[in-house]
């Protein structure tokens, strides 16, 4: 864990790549989607065969924090030809260092979780409605770290759209035990790793069985003083 942070900071990077961000988070038992890193379109096709179609292909790099704005994501790819075609396109994007091959996670619900540092309060954990609705609806709750599981459960129940936690369109209720552990872990990171300035997990997608999984994440590093 520390090596990922130290190496990135030694290179003067402001963030971890999406791949390294999720590797870091997984060390704290935060569930992440199945994925692999590929150097080129051919190796991306090999990774896609391991994961199984359909897949998501992303441009990956420490300077690619906002991939959507530069067309750095290709969704629902169903065969080798599409992976190679999109892989060639993504590799041309400025800042692309590799290709991230991910499972296409099913599920109708998207949440957001994160960590911020308040100048007075210190590390704070955030939870709310995710995906495209994060900024539009601004339906989020905050807690100061550290969090207990009880704190996390209270926080989860504070969002206005809390009915989304219940069974939804044929999908199971969200596993609040797993969700609570994610929030507690984010608080722990904030207390134990002062060189982590912020964390953004968006979306934390909910599978049809109710289990949440991070499909996109970003760890922002603090500037050395």
Task: List, for residues 46-96, the tens digit of each pLDDT value.
Answer: 999 999 999 999 999 988 877 888 899 999 999 999 999 999 999 999 999
**What pLDDT sits at residue 132?**
66
Both 45 and 125 in one domain: the answer is: no
Sheet with 98-103, edge to edge strand ranges: 35-38, 98-103, 55-60, 73-77
pLDDT in tens, 162-216: 999 999 989 999 999 999 999 999 999 999 999 999 999 999 999 999 999 999 9
Q: What is the CATH number of the domain that holds 82?
A: 3.30.1490.20
Q: Going along the chain, which residue ranges are E strands?
A: 35-38, 55-60, 73-77, 98-103, 109-118, 122-129, 140-144, 196-206, 212-214, 217-221
- Give CA separation, 202 vs 58, 72, 112, 207, in Å: 15, 16, 5, 14
Both 135 and 205 in one domain: the answer is: yes
Alpha carbon distance 10, 20 (integer Å): 15
**What pLDDT sits at residue 11?**
86
Both 25 and 44 in one domain: the answer is: no
Both 73 and 139 in one domain: the answer is: no
Both 19 and 45 in one domain: the answer is: no
Cβ atoms of residues 159 and 140 within 8 Å:
yes
**What pLDDT sits at residue 66?**
76
Give buried/exposed letters for 100-114 (b at 16+ CB in 10 A, else e): bbbbbbebebbbbbb
List residues bridging with 32 in a β-sheet: 214
Mean of the per-residue pLDDT values for the chain?
93
Cβ atoms of residues 45 and 85 within 8 Å:
no
Residue 104 has pLDDT above 90, yes or no: yes
Q: Which of 160, 204, 172 is nearest to 186 (CA)?
A: 204
Both 17 and 112 in one domain: the answer is: yes
Q: How confident is the model at residue 44 (pLDDT cuts 50, 70, 90)?
A: very high
Which of 103, 126, 146 is the last residue before a domain boundary? 103
Both 21 and 115 in one domain: the answer is: yes
Residue 6 has pLDDT above 60, yes or no: yes
pLDDT in tens, 138-162: 889 999 999 999 999 999 999 998 9
Q: What is the CATH number of the domain that holds 124?
A: 3.30.470.20
Both 7 and 54 in one domain: the answer is: no
Q: How many domains does the chain have?
A: 2
Both 144 and 177 in one domain: the answer is: yes
Give 64-71 contacts, CB < 8 A, sequence gap 24+.
64/17, 64/18, 64/93, 64/95, 64/96, 65/15, 65/218, 67/18, 70/94
Which has more confidence, 46 or 131? 46
Which of 57, 81, 103 is the last residue before a domain boundary? 103
Both 115 and 201 in one domain: the answer is: yes
Residue 70 domain boundaries:
35-103
Alpha carbon distance 64, 2 (integer Å): 22
């Amino acid at each position: 864990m520390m090596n990922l942070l130290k190496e990135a900071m030694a290179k003067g990077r402001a963030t971890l790549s999406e791949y390294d961000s999720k590797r870091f988070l997984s060390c704290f038992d935060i569930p992440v989607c199945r994925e692999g890193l590929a150097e080129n379109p051919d190796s991306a096709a090999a990774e896609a065969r391991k994961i199984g179609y359909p897949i998501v292909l992303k441009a990956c790099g420490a300077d690619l924090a906002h991939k959507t704005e530069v067309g750095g994501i290709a969704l629902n790819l169903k065969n080798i030809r599409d992976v190679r075609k999109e892989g060639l396109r993504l590799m041309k994007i400025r800042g692309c260092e590799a290709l991230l091959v991910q499972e296409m996670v099913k599920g109708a619900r998207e949440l957001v979780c994160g960590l911020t540092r308040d100048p007075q309060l210190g590390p704070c954990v955030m939870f709310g409605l995710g995906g495209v609705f994060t900024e539009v609806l601004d339906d989020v709750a905050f807690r100061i770290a550290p969090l207990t599981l009880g704190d996390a459960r209270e926080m989860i129940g504070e969002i206005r759209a809390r009915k989304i936690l219940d069974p939804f369109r044929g999908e199971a209720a969200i596993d609040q035990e797993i969700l609570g552990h994610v929030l507690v872990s984010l608080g722990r990171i904030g207390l134990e790793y002062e060189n982590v300035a912020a964390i953004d997990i968006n979306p934390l997608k909910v599978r049809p069985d109710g289990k949440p999984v991070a499909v996109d994440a970003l760890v922002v590093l603090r500037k050395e003083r």
